[in-house]
Amino acid sequence: AQLALERDYESQREMDTRYRVLMEISRDPVVMVSMSTGRMTDLNPAAAQILGGSRSELLGAPIAQEFEGRRRGELLEALSTLAVSERAAPIELIVRRSQRRVVLTPTVFRAAGERIVLCQLDASDAVPVTDDLG
């Protein structure tokens, strides 16, 4: 039994390591959001760059406050309806800190009894959005 426990522990550590390395190196900007709190429970460097903040300051913050004109409940509700739809439709948003246009593609899954939204971000602009009319 002791050996089995050690194997479980090793196996858990291994998945943990695989997950962390994969998040870290992926050039695909990804944010994990808890559906119950609306807070970002994990994000990778690529996502932090698009959101215009450091990973440490974004971690634990409500995702809705990172976008313009989206109240917390409103964005979560939009993400929540995707949980019951067959295919998730992308949502277009403007990032508050950088004023960049992004397309958010959500994937809802369940882990350890909690609903999590994995959000993929695509910068849909080449340059930041400005109010400049010239």
User: Which residue, 54, 21, 57, is CA-closest to 39?
Assistant: 57
Task: Indicate the pairing of strand 40-43 with strand 91-94.
Answer: unpaired
Decide if 82 contacts 65 (C-beta within 8 A): no
Q: Considering the rule CB under 8 A, would residue 68 count as an interface residue with a copy of itself?
A: no
Query: Cα(90)–Cα(56) distance, rounded to whole angstroms?
Result: 26
Interface pick for a copy of itself out of 68, 85, 89, 109 (rule CB under 8 A): 109
Binder of a copy of itself out of 3, 84, 86, 111 (CB under 8 A): 111
Which member of 73, 110, 124, 129 binds a copy of itself (CB under 8 A)?
110
Catalog residues that contact a copy of itself under the rule CB under 8 A: 5, 8-19, 21-23, 25-28, 30, 32, 107, 109-113, 116, 118, 120
